[in-house]
Structure 1
Amino acid sequence: MTTVGELKDQLWRELALKAELGINGVAISGEALELIQPGVKAQEQVHCLFEMDFEIHTTELPSHFQLPHGLTVPFRWNPKSTYRIDLIGERTVLIHGNEVLADVEFQPRPKFYGAKTSDGIEMSNIGAHYAQRHLFIVYSNECSYKEKGEDCLFCNINYTRDVYGAERPFWKNAKQIGETAAQAYRFGEIDHLTVSGGIIPERRELDYYLDVAESIQRHTGLDDFNGTATVAAPLDLRNIDRFKESGYRTTAMNIEIWDKGIYNAICPGKARGSGGWEHWVKALEYAAKVFGHGRVRSNIVAGIEPKKSTVAGLEYLASKGVVGTATVWCPNPGSELEGHRSPEPGWYLDLAHKQVAIWKKNGFSYQQIYDCHASSDSLQHDIWRIEDELLPVFAETKRLVAAE
């Protein structure tokens, strides 16, 4: 009989494996793809913002899979990876070299993916189903920084649009989004949604988000639809109040880099076109007062600047009531930093542990962390769920131990 302590040991090992797969990616055999059938049986990738695989592809690939104890791993295809998913009989297994590490399960295709909007667009092209019951809606896969040659150097949003743009509508209107959100809620497949996209002119962004909130409320019948508005820091801070008044529970403004000098070099568009680093921080502090403690998020792309700087940013943001996050940096194809290397998996695990400690020290609840994220499959979320025994596998283990 496995004890809770033994289960935690197994989960920490599983988390280390997840970190390896996030940094190094995973290959998959044609036989495994034929069995799981992404886009038919298994949930397929939707290139709504970024290409997160190591190489572009025309083959339909799965979005994510689960390890034996319930940790969710985003599928990052790397045909050169030493990790691969293959078949043993009818089992899909993760293999490293010649060693079978674990059986893995792929997420079934969401029910709402097969539905269509009233104007005939497949809902999978309007909103992507992210791990842990999140709906991620991207209004448009464009960023206006491209026009001035000022894309963030780690970002491949415009490249992804150029490569995969024919897959889905260039611009999703408010009605399509409202209908898709309503269907996902109706099927009981989501508890939270995020609206996001590239940088567009401020007034256009504000009007659009207000229209989307109204449409979601009308189609779902929910005044509080647990939505996050992911926006650029507005030059007119009063616009933040309008996002809150329109019905969004949380907001996100991603600063990307904490070190000011590195920020100016890596994020030229944000440094020159959105008020700069100082204004971005000011907007986050203001948003925390409007939305409340733990209801505002800002992400740092971890691994580009020194860890010490990232931790300093996470600590400062948390002290102001802002949930700072630090995601794994993927040197995406088509970005200016393509071909660079992320730090080692252990680097990210250490940072994730520090991040969870900062969250807890500053009084954030897990529900707040859940609500303000676009997805809850990060290393940090897993650490919190392991530490506080929130994963479903804990309840089952405790039940079996009690019955013994």
Structure 2
Amino acid sequence: MSTTATRPPRLGLRPNIAQFTLLVVVNALVGGMLGQERTVLPLLGEQVFGLRAYTAGLSFILVFGVAKAATNYFAGTLSDRFGRKPVLVWGWLVAIPVPLMLIWAPSWSWVIVANVLLGISQGLTWSTTVVMKIDLVGPARRGLAMGLNEAAGYGAVAVTALATGYLAESYGLRPAPFLLGIAFAALGLGLSTLAVRETRGHARLEAATHVAHADGRHDHLHDNLTNREVFTQTSFHEPALSSASQAGLVNNLNDGLAWGLFPILFAAAGLSVGKIGLLAALYPAVWGVGQLITGALSDRWGRKWMIAAGMWLQAIALGLIALGESFAVWAVAAAMLGAGTALVYPTLLASIGDVAHPAWRARAVGTYRLWRDGGFAVGALLAGVVADALGVRAAIWTVAALTAVSGLVVAVRMYETHAPETPRSPHP
């Protein structure tokens, strides 16, 4: 059955505003599926399943990160081969059992399996909404498109984290918080099946009209790279793509730390579940709303220094969380962490879109997201091991130092991928 629109595709936000808006809504539902776990699951592991070792408690993030990272890579390849819409629908089908398993889990192993499924689902759905929005808007508005996409996703993470915190405080850790996930999965599957249209034709249109960069920097990145060449260029060889990949990994290493250890740190300080939920929501809320601004600004100001500054701001925020002892200090630090992430998150995706040829852009996005979401697994393992050995605050300081170094790598190695429209002297 064909899902391609009958009229010829046109690039740009305005001619595609209806489908773009629909995909923003779909990605908000994707974010909500993730947000149902942010406040409740670390507390569930500690209070219901009796997990005391930090490494064991973070195991759900580790398997989520591995599953999502691997699926991100294959999502790009699959969407090039079969189309974007089928991959999106497959992702929602995988999501359906997740909230039910979390509600009925008799042991922590059920939670682990549920998070493998959640990682696969997130890899398929979130990756595909990213690629579809890039397809629709064309080259001029990528930063804005990614800002809207990530704002919707992480705004929903924040709202759901806040809602589940209050539901858990009022009605217990199960089942009330996860009933939201059932509703999100049903809505996401319905919209993706019945209303979303295929966008691969837009990518083909852009590929047919693609103009090489005048400075010749990307001449080796032609339109017929193999999967292996796309992987090696994005991961290691091409300076901007590989710098973005390492920064993405470290960014989500931070997020894995925040997801898994912050609720435990705050609970140990005597905060209520409601206040923990508020802190768990504040960070992605600032992150989500901030991307409405930062994505568009990167189209005007360029990508490189926004990424470097965002990584350094995250490092400072993590240090403040490690030093903090009160709700007020942690709230300020959580807002700073969200602001730093907002500078980085849509800008990294836009820089990938700047450099990658439309013919293999979906695979480049998939490779980047492989590394980025691999950060969840690295963060869970690193934070768990350091926390078990030296304590939670030592784990936070360790990640803060890695984040500062990552920003330095961007500052030294990455070049500007999207210079402002006004003429300026060529890059060296």
TM norm structure 2: 0.24
Please identify which structure carries the higher helix content. Answer: 2
Higher relative contact order (CA 8 A, sep 6+): 2
Please identify which structure carries the higher strand content. Answer: 1
TM norm structure 1: 0.25
